[in-house]
Amino acid sequence: MPITTSPGFDQHEAVAFHNDPQSGLRVFVAVHRRRNGRGCGGIRYRVYANEQEAIDDALRLSAAMTRKAVLAGIPSGGAKSCVMADPRGKTTELLEAMGRVVQSYGGTYVCAPDVGIGTEDLAVIRGVTPHVTAVDHPAAPYTARGTLRGIEAMAEWKLGRESLDGLRVAIQGAGSVGAQLAHLLAARGAAVVIADVDDGKAKSVASELGATTVDPAEIFDVEADILAPCALGGVLTRTTVERLKVRAVVGAANNQLADPAVGEVLASRGIAFAPDFVVSAGGLIAGEHEITGFDEDAVHEHIDRIGVTLLEVLERAASESVTETQAAERIVAERLSTETGS
């Protein structure tokens, strides 16, 4: 079972498999970096085709968490857990076993929600370990705020717009983040088109806002200014990017590029891309403030800097003729090397 040769391996500090036959918990925990003694990252809980798929997911996601933290000015590293199980069979016993796994790291791994793990689940986990964030302040509204700041920065940089009034945004996914983002955009006068595989969710958001829905299979064909992927990762492939009729992509979904080369395809089509690890940091920022002392105004002020960071990335990509992801990674590498002195 390759770890060091997985495409997601990025000199990870540790990768572990934890097994609790009694509850059925089977989970890979990847700790990419510990900065100031800790790595932070969500618990993903989903069915994987096989163990390799779960390892690859944990590796890619934990490395992205380090980048996210560094760019958001958060003094922690990145980690991630991938539980291999069907969320419909989730039990308190299994969540408590997960809590014991987190506790075994003694605070060097701090967990948070991700796909398949909600606030109620985290509350159970917190009954076993204190090393949990986003229970008292659910992450999605903060993530949506940060994504909005990314959209504002992109609208200014790519479209020369100072306001979102009349901007057309196609949102993929009407879940926790996508629905909140739709509300924030509509409040600023943007026209929202939204799609979800759960048609009821998309329709409910659309009826609240007077927005439009499309079939999920058609979201990449929508004529709009910006596409905001807020569903799952890997949605930007060569095929889907060829279909796009937007000027930019800015969304919260983790790891949107199916592979790094898709960034080049976007660039060749003149479509600007906001790396997800830049714009989806709002929940992580709120979680960090939970650890150090939560103050809503300070959290908002911190999240609002995401727009400034995205502009730095976009300008760097343009001036060095690299993709936005490469530019963001260069900034991360520079900041990390300043810390380590290497």
57 touches ligand NAD by CB under 6 A: no
Contact 121, 90 (CB under 8 A): yes
Determine which residue in the list 41, 77, 178, 307 makes contact with ligand NAD, applying CB under 6 A.
Answer: 178
Determine which residue in the list 39, 41, 99, 173 makes contact with ligand NAD, applying CB under 6 A.
Answer: 173
Residue 195 amino acid letter:
A
Q: Which residues are catalytic?
A: 80
Determine which residue in the list 176, 213, 240, 309 makes contact with ligand NAD, applying CB under 6 A.
Answer: 176
Q: What is the smallest separation between the CB atom of 39 and ligand NAD, expressed in angstroms?
A: 16
280 touches ligand NAD by CB under 6 A: yes
What radius of gyration do the chain's Cα atoms show? 19
Q: Which stretch binds ligand NAD (CB under 6 A): 88-96, 101-109, 138-146, 300-308?
A: 138-146
Q: What is the smallest separation between the CB atom of 140 and ligand NAD, expressed in angstroms?
A: 4
Distance CA 15, CA 225 (A): 40
* Closer of 20 and 304 to ligand NAD (Cβ): 304
* Other residues' Cβ atoms within 10 Å of the Cβ of residue 49: 8
Torsion of CA 230, 236, 240, 242, to 10 degrees: 130
216 touches ligand NAD by CB under 6 A: yes
Q: What is the smallest separation between the CB atom of 142 and ligand NAD, expressed in angstroms?
A: 7
Pick the closest to residue 192 from 304, 277, 207, 248 (CA basis). 207
201 touches ligand NAD by CB under 6 A: yes
199 touches ligand NAD by CB under 6 A: no
Contact 147, 177 (CB under 8 A): yes
The 3-state DSSP composition of the chain as helix, strand, coil percent (nearest 5) reads 50, 20, 35
* Closer of 31 and 195 to ligand NAD (Cβ): 195
115 touches ligand NAD by CB under 6 A: yes
Q: What is the smallest separation between the CB atom of 201 and ligand NAD, expressed in angstroms?
A: 5
Determine which residue in the list 172, 213, 325, 326 makes contact with ligand NAD, applying CB under 6 A.
Answer: 172
Alpha-carbon 23 to chain mean position: 29
Distance CA 209, CA 42 (A): 30
151 touches ligand NAD by CB under 6 A: no
Q: Mask 240-279, x = binds ligand NAD (CB under 6 A)?
A: ------------xxx-------------------------
Pick the closest to residue 227 from 274, 262, 260 (CA basis). 274
Distance CA 14, CA 115 (A): 22
* Closer of 231 and 272 to ligand NAD (Cβ): 231
Residue 217 amino acid letter:
A
* Other residues' Cβ atoms within 10 Å of the Cβ of residue 177: 28
Distance CA 303, CA 306 (A): 6
* Other residues' Cβ atoms within 10 Å of the Cβ of residue 73: 13
299 touches ligand NAD by CB under 6 A: no
Determine which residue in the list 55, 230, 241, 250 makes contact with ligand NAD, applying CB under 6 A.
Answer: 230
63 touches ligand NAD by CB under 6 A: no
Interface residues toward ligand NAD, by CB under 6 A: 114-115, 139-140, 143, 172-178, 195-198, 201, 216, 230-233, 252-254, 280, 283
